[in-house]
Chain A
Amino acid sequence: MSAAPPALPVFVPGDYKTDLKPVWCPGCGDFGVLTALYRAMAELQLTPELTAVVSGIGCSSRLPGYVETYGFNTVHGRALPLATGVAVSRPDVKVIAVGGDGDGLAIGGNHFMHSARRNLDVTYILMDNEIYGLTKGQVAPTTPTGDKTKTTHYGNPEPAVDPCELAISFGATWVGRAFSGDLKGTVELIVKALRHRGFAFLNVMSPCVTWRGDDQFKSLKAKARPLPAGHDVTSRFEAFKFTRETDVLSTGVLYDVKSPSLNDRLDTIKVTARAGAPLVTVPEIVKTFLPSF
């Protein structure tokens, strides 16, 4: 009889926790996202040293510090470029980008568009609180029109964007929406997002109790309900029916299609470029600069 294979380590959610205490306000929605992430990672048994969590700047962007993987809390709006570097240069590393709505949609909006378009091999979790939390309450791209904030004393004059609608339009191949008050649902969606190959975008409505008051949580809780069974996740058109809702907040997988990821395409390029030849060396490249006649 052959010997039993050595037991693999089994990770429980707590293994993904660092000993750093979150700076978030008590009751902040981001706690729910963090807890859901620990559970999702445990469910998938992600190897900590082969996982990287990258963020920009904001309350939500503090999250990498609380996850026991390689982590990098970078500069405002640039989580996705950093994630691009990690994901492309180290395809063996599972890359998770996180951040707030200001970080991802205002200052980092350009990167959101292009990361989605490239079908970057990254799971991007956006904690949408419809406000700038860290800078203490200014209007954000997702703040509803008319809302009063620190920089919209007379009501927000601008329309808000829907992050999921943007992601789908930009070419994301997996788009979901969650509510951090629904832990079970959020865990399920993070698991699905992490399983997806290519750019998976999860917008988590994550209330800011400090700058949006208790009302935001209450209203989100009242509005949140699962997407109807039988929603066609392969249809942009069907997905857009839910991205403009106002009275309800449909959670679940809005969109899910298969398409080669950026790393798939770059792998193909590497194969085509080499055409079966061994890796090129620098002296070989140097030779191409010698006149050959």
Chain B
Amino acid sequence: MSRRDLTIAMVGAGGDGIVTMGDILSQAGARNGLNVIKTEAYGPQIRGGESSCVVRLSPSAIYEQGDAVDVLVVFSWADFGRFKGEVQPAPNAVVLFDEADPVARTREDLGIGADGHWLAVPFSKLAGDAGAKGSKNVVGLGVLTALFGLAEETIRRAVVKRFGRKKAAVGELALKAYEAGLVHGGTLPPMPERGLTFTPGPAKLLMSGNEASALGALHAGCRFFAGYPITPSTEILQFAEEWLPKMGGSVVQTEDELAAIGAVVGASFAGVKSMTATSGPGLSLMTEMLGLASMAEVPCVVVDVQRGGPSTGLPTKSEQSDLWQAVFAGHGDAPRVVIAASDVEDCFHTTVEAFNIAEEFQVPVIVLTDQSIGQRRETLDPTRLVHDVVDRAVPTAEELVEYKRYRDTPDGYSPMSVPGLKGGIYQTNGLEHDEFGRPASMAHVHETMNAKRYRKLKPIRDRYQRARRYGPAKADLGIVCWGSSKGAVKEAVLMAEERGEKVAAFIPQMIFPFPVKAFEEFRASVRQLLVIEISYAAQFYKYLRTFTTLPDNTIIFKRSGGKNLTISEVDDQIRRFFASGSQQKGAA
């Protein structure tokens, strides 16, 4: 039987070209229409230092990075040690390491069993012989190609493109290194059963979640972006800065996040769709302005690419611990909308959706993504990047007669005029105000206007009951999770299905207002619930309990971030559940 997919991990020191190696592998995969997920991890150094890259390639759909590595390439064992617990070869993995490495490791150290392969490869020597000392990584690509049936010609072209870009001679040396790797690979024990078998298909896009979020914004019509750099969201600012001017838009890198969200609210008040992106600490600084946007009913979109917190916490690693902050942080009663993206493609769609909701209902919308999907690269089908765009309703001529900016309408939102519109002049503020926007602090006005602002949540809830549901219509175990947990959960659900276990999953895209009805239907369709999240405080579990009741026998699987949720972790939870026999007991 041919393999379903192949997960290759590469680890080395700064200068070993680990990232380039991963880039070429994933680009070649994308070029041939394979499904690819690529993740990278670095040491704490700003530049140089150890790095690791994991690339999963598959002819069929994949939803999460593979956690049991099939092939491990190690250029430096010392650096490998720094990724303890993050890069884990499967017991039957093929391990390829540099024979010149002064540090020695044994297959027992890594738990490689008899069905695995432990192979010393002269990476450095072959690179040196090829006249390109720094090209161990390209030699490595050659070896991998020979052993695992990768697309030789595609990788060759990718190597030339990457190295011959500036100087053709450099490209030629790299090619020599590649050929040397191919030849050496031919001398190693053949393992055809490990190779990837596939028919090349149309090329796919290779994109990160952050790029997809930025792209979604541009697609939605965003023409003003303000932001302050913060890992792991910075690529969104960088992307906007590169492309917006070419679309006639503008970007300001502000002095802080207070200014970023302020400028976004200002631009939106001026009639231009606008957005900012940040991570947890930045969202904290934006909190006051979100209150203003809610009160003055100015559309705005904030993407929060979550990282481990509090404070600087784990700035380069993922966590799902900004949930409470996104939904609840703020002063006063201030409606907002929170939606969550679950993978790279979803980053595109949720951002467009965020603009659609913000513009139509004139509310701030927070999009929660996280480092794991924000910074990983994934292949996408280019035809999938379509999404309807909603524009703000401007007042009609009729509505401009004695224009009331905050007319108390049945759905709570009222046509919003923009500078340039003659009859639509209004003065607004963060003070409680009447329908014209004039300050009014009487209790009854506050009550009426609060009701008006909160009323918007109803059509949003009704029209955007967005949630994904996987698995059979009736199941013994129902997993509830959100955001980036989707990938691991979906794969584990599919694995359970293969074993004949009935497991379903519920993953809301709309976080606030929470799709209570859809959730309650799900709850009724399963015997027992399992809530999964990457938050030590179990923010999601407690959040669910705020809006609905959860049975006492609900299982919680939660832990801190720092390491992405893996397929095996979810699989393990499912297996335990079925092994304990509790599926018979739970009330439906």
Interface residues of A (CB under 8 A from B): 18, 20, 23, 48-54, 57, 62, 64-65, 67-75, 77-78, 80-86, 88-90, 92-93, 110-111, 113-114, 118, 262, 266, 269-270, 272-274, 277, 279-282, 285-287, 289-293
Q: B496 at interface (Cβ–Cβ under 8 A)?
A: no
Asked whether A71 lies within 8 Å of B427 as measured between CB atoms, the reply is yes
B219 to A: closest C-beta gap in Å: 5
Asked whether A49 lies within 8 Å of B224 as measured between CB atoms, the reply is no
Asked whether A90 lies within 8 Å of B259 as measured between CB atoms, the reply is no
B245 to A: closest C-beta gap in Å: 4
B204, B291, B428: residue with the most chain A Cβ atoms closer than 10 Å: B428
CB-CB under 8 A from B362, the residues of chain A are: none
Asked whether A49 lies within 8 Å of B425 as measured between CB atoms, the reply is yes
Give complex CA distance A85, B262 in Å: 7
Asked whether B205 lies within 8 Å of A289 as measured between CB atoms, the reply is yes
Q: Say which one of B23-31, B187-195, B450-458 lies at the interface with A.
A: B23-31
Asked whether B288 lies within 8 Å of A75 as measured between CB atoms, the reply is yes
Give complex CA distance A143, B364 in Å: 38
Give complex CA distance A77, B157 in Å: 55
A281 to B: closest C-beta gap in Å: 8
Asked whether A64 lies within 8 Å of B266 as measured between CB atoms, the reply is no
> Mind listing 5 A-B residue pairs with CB under 8 Å?
A68-B425, A74-B265, A88-B250, A280-B247, A291-B31
Closest to B218 in A: A282
Asked whether B207 lies within 8 Å of A74 as measured between CB atoms, the reply is no
Q: Determine which of B262, B427, B438 lies in contact with A67 in the assembled complex, contact meaning CB atoms within 8 Å.
A: B427
CB-CB under 8 A from A83, the residues of chain B are: 266
A72 to B: closest C-beta gap in Å: 5
CB-CB under 8 A from B431, the residues of chain A are: 73
CB-CB under 8 A from B243, the residues of chain A are: 280, 285
A78-B259, A289-B207, A291-B206 known; A65 and B421 CB under 8 Å?
no
Q: Determine which of A48, A54, A57, A274 lies in contact with B246 in the assembled complex, contact meaning CB atoms within 8 Å.
A: A274
A50-B419, A290-B203 known; A69 and B425 CB under 8 Å?
yes
CB-CB under 8 A from B206, the residues of chain A are: 289, 291
Q: Determine which of B27, B246, B291, B424 lies in contact with A291 in the assembled complex, contact meaning CB atoms within 8 Å.
A: B27
Give complex CA distance A223, B65 in Å: 72
Asked whether B203 lies within 8 Å of A291 as measured between CB atoms, the reply is yes
Q: B9 at interface (Cβ–Cβ under 8 A)?
A: no
Closest to A91 in B: B250
CB-CB under 8 A from B380, the residues of chain A are: 289
Asked whether A85 lies within 8 Å of B385 as measured between CB atoms, the reply is no
* Residues of chain B in range 1-51 having any CB-CB distance to chain A below 8 Å: 27-28, 30-31
Give complex CA distance A86, B252 in Å: 12
CB-CB under 8 A from B226, the residues of chain A are: 84-85
Asked whether A73 lies within 8 Å of B438 as measured between CB atoms, the reply is no
Give complex CA distance A227, B254 in Å: 35
Q: Determine which of B205, B262, B438, B439 lies in contact with A78 in the assembled complex, contact meaning CB atoms within 8 Å.
A: B262
Closest 8 A-B residue pairs measured CB to CB?
A85-B266, A81-B262, A71-B427, A85-B267, A89-B267, A73-B429, A82-B266, A85-B263
CB-CB under 8 A from A270, the residues of chain B are: 245-246, 248, 250
Q: B532 at interface (Cβ–Cβ under 8 A)?
A: no
CB-CB under 8 A from B421, the residues of chain A are: 49
Asked whether B223 lies within 8 Å of A89 as measured between CB atoms, the reply is yes
Asked whether B289 lies within 8 Å of A75 as measured between CB atoms, the reply is yes
> Could you mark each residue 263-281 of chain B with 1 if its beta carbon is under 8 Å from any beta carbon of chain A, else 0?
1111111111010000000
Besides A52-B269, A85-B264, 14 other A-B contacts (C-beta < 8 A):
A54-B266, A67-B427, A70-B425, A71-B426, A72-B429, A74-B262, A74-B265, A74-B429, A75-B430, A84-B254, A90-B272, A289-B211, A290-B382, A293-B157
Give complex CA distance A133, B269 in Å: 28
Interface residues of B (CB under 8 A from A): 27-28, 30-31, 154, 157-158, 160-161, 203-207, 211, 215, 218-219, 223-224, 226, 243, 245-248, 250, 252, 254-256, 258-272, 274, 288-289, 291-292, 296, 380, 382, 385, 419-422, 424-431, 438-439
CB-CB under 8 A from A64, the residues of chain B are: 427, 429
Asked whether B270 lies within 8 Å of A86 as measured between CB atoms, the reply is yes
A64, A273, A287: residue with the most chain B Cβ atoms closer than 10 Å: A273
CB-CB under 8 A from A118, the residues of chain B are: 252
A38 to B: closest C-beta gap in Å: 14
Asked whether A274 lies within 8 Å of B245 as measured between CB atoms, the reply is yes
CB-CB under 8 A from B425, the residues of chain A are: 48-49, 68-70
Closest to A75 in B: B292
Closest to B295 in A: A75
CB-CB under 8 A from A20, the residues of chain B are: 427, 438-439
Q: Determine which of B158, B215, B224, B258 lies in contact with A85 in the assembled complex, contact meaning CB atoms within 8 Å.
A: B224
Q: Determine which of A70, A71, A293 lies in contact with B161 in the assembled complex, contact meaning CB atoms within 8 Å.
A: A293
Q: Determine which of A49, A77, A85, A280 lies in contact with B420 in the assembled complex, contact meaning CB atoms within 8 Å.
A: A49
A231 to B: closest C-beta gap in Å: 32
Closest to B300 in A: A85
Asked whether A89 lies within 8 Å of B27 as measured between CB atoms, the reply is no
Give complex CA distance A87, B269 in Å: 11
CB-CB under 8 A from A89, the residues of chain B are: 223-224, 250, 266-267, 270-272, 274
Asked whether A50 lies within 8 Å of B215 as measured between CB atoms, the reply is no
B530 to A: closest C-beta gap in Å: 36
Q: Determine which of A84, A92, A269 lies in contact with B263 in the assembled complex, contact meaning CB atoms within 8 Å.
A: A84
Asked whether A49 lies within 8 Å of B419 as measured between CB atoms, the reply is yes
Asked whether A114 lies within 8 Å of B245 as measured between CB atoms, the reply is no
Asked whether B224 lies within 8 Å of A81 as measured between CB atoms, the reply is no
B203, B258, B274: residue with the most chain A Cβ atoms closer than 10 Å: B258
Give complex CA distance A52, B270 in Å: 9
Asked whether A291 lies within 8 Å of B158 as measured between CB atoms, the reply is yes
A90-B271, A290-B203, A291-B158 known; A78 and B258 CB under 8 Å?
yes
Asked whether B385 lies within 8 Å of A286 as measured between CB atoms, the reply is yes
Closest to A77 in B: B258
Give complex CA distance A84, B270 in Å: 11
CB-CB under 8 A from B260, the residues of chain A are: 81
Asked whether B274 lies within 8 Å of A18 as measured between CB atoms, the reply is no
Closest to B226 in A: A85
B394 to A: closest C-beta gap in Å: 13
CB-CB under 8 A from B264, the residues of chain A are: 85
CB-CB under 8 A from A88, the residues of chain B are: 224, 250, 252, 263, 267
Give complex CA distance A146, B37 in Å: 65
CB-CB under 8 A from B158, the residues of chain A are: 291, 293
Give complex CA distance A49, B424 in Å: 8
Asked whether B266 lies within 8 Å of A81 as measured between CB atoms, the reply is yes
A74-B292, A85-B263, A114-B259 known; A293 and B160 CB under 8 Å?
yes
A221 to B: closest C-beta gap in Å: 31
Give complex CA distance A51, B160 in Å: 56
A204 to B: closest C-beta gap in Å: 21
Closest to A71 in B: B427
Give complex CA distance A54, B424 in Å: 17
A68-B425, A71-B427, A86-B270 known; A81 and B259 CB under 8 Å?
yes
B203, B205, B245: residue with the most chain A Cβ atoms closer than 10 Å: B245
Give complex CA distance A282, B426 in Å: 34
Asked whether B259 lies within 8 Å of A273 as measured between CB atoms, the reply is no
Give complex CA distance A270, B160 in Å: 33
Give complex CA distance A172, B266 in Å: 21
Give complex CA distance A193, B333 in Å: 40
CB-CB under 8 A from A18, the residues of chain B are: 427
